[in-house]
Chains A and B, each alone.
Chain A
């Protein structure tokens, strides 16, 4: 998914930048319909996408692997757990957004410089909060996230037990 990270008025993260709408006035249907259609087609051909990304090429390590396969693997594993902040439902390893490319480059550069994945993740959490990671640590806020499935399984087991008993008797 390629999205820009410009904040448009009425900014809606995750949505693509709208293309320019051709200006078409409301006209009475009838004899003018043909010229109207031509106008629409011409306008559609002339319309260009709104400028949304920079003109610079992707960052050094955005789409380039590290030479050391072990380090590349470490970097990839970390990238899969980091949220793209522009297209919020994707990990940076999956996203085509420019900012995700810059984040991948940052991860690879710092892994190559000898930092551990935990150090890099902690520094991103310091900037953006735990929202940036798809592997949230266990704390008071995330406790329901981790415990609720266990509780639901418990309730299910209890219900199943009741049902089986009734059948046997």
Chain B
């Protein structure tokens, strides 16, 4: 054995140390991303969540116009935070449809009355079935769907001021 081989264990230790230190300094991104990006929206049909507003079916998304599909819930705090951004997108003329997760009509009505109502349709996803089909793992999440019903972008978490340009760009590209 050569004399330099004496250093091999130390080298091994340094390697392990470096890996651990890296993971401490920059923890891994634990965000669960949907595997449905670039794929067609799953077929679904959800009943209306609130009276006076239609429910949501996947057929709406194949009518030629790009749309946002917002996954939200009245019991979700960051959904309140993103409400002004959705209202802004609505004022820009972006059609926004929604899936309400595990919710009740009264609670959703109160939520919309308090935070504004940017939605054209709201589907009642009582047991998160559409959410699971979308590959969404929490609320809020927003998907950009092109006019042919293909998912082109997933935004995980509440939409903030800085996220709006990315969403608008994806909508423009999907046109």
Contacts and interface: CB of A to CB of B under 8 A. Distances in A.
Interface stretch (A27-35, A127-135, A152-160): A127-135
A127 B138 contact: no
A106 B129 contact: yes
Please provide the 10 A-B residue pairs with the shortest distance between their CB atoms, ordered closest to farther: A54-B102, A127-B135, A85-B137, A129-B35, A102-B128, A5-B138, A59-B127, A7-B157, A56-B102, A6-B76
Interface of A: 5-9, 11, 13-14, 50-56, 59-60, 85-86, 88, 98-99, 102-103, 105-106, 123-129, 131
15 contacts: A5-B138, A5-B139, A7-B78, A7-B139, A7-B157, A9-B158, A55-B75, A56-B102, A59-B127, A59-B128, A99-B138, A102-B128, A106-B129, A127-B34, A128-B35
B79 to A, nearest CB: 8
A128 B157 CA distance: 16
Nearest to B76: A6
| Tier of interface size on chain B | 35 or more
Contacts of A123: 133
A54 B31 CA distance: 22
A5 B126 CA distance: 15
B98 interface: no
A128 B104 contact: no
Q: Which of A9, A56, A98 has the most C-beta atoms of chain B within 10 angstroms of its own C-beta?
A: A56
A41 B33 CA distance: 42
A49 to B, nearest CB: 12
Contacts of B32: 13, 85, 88, 128, 131
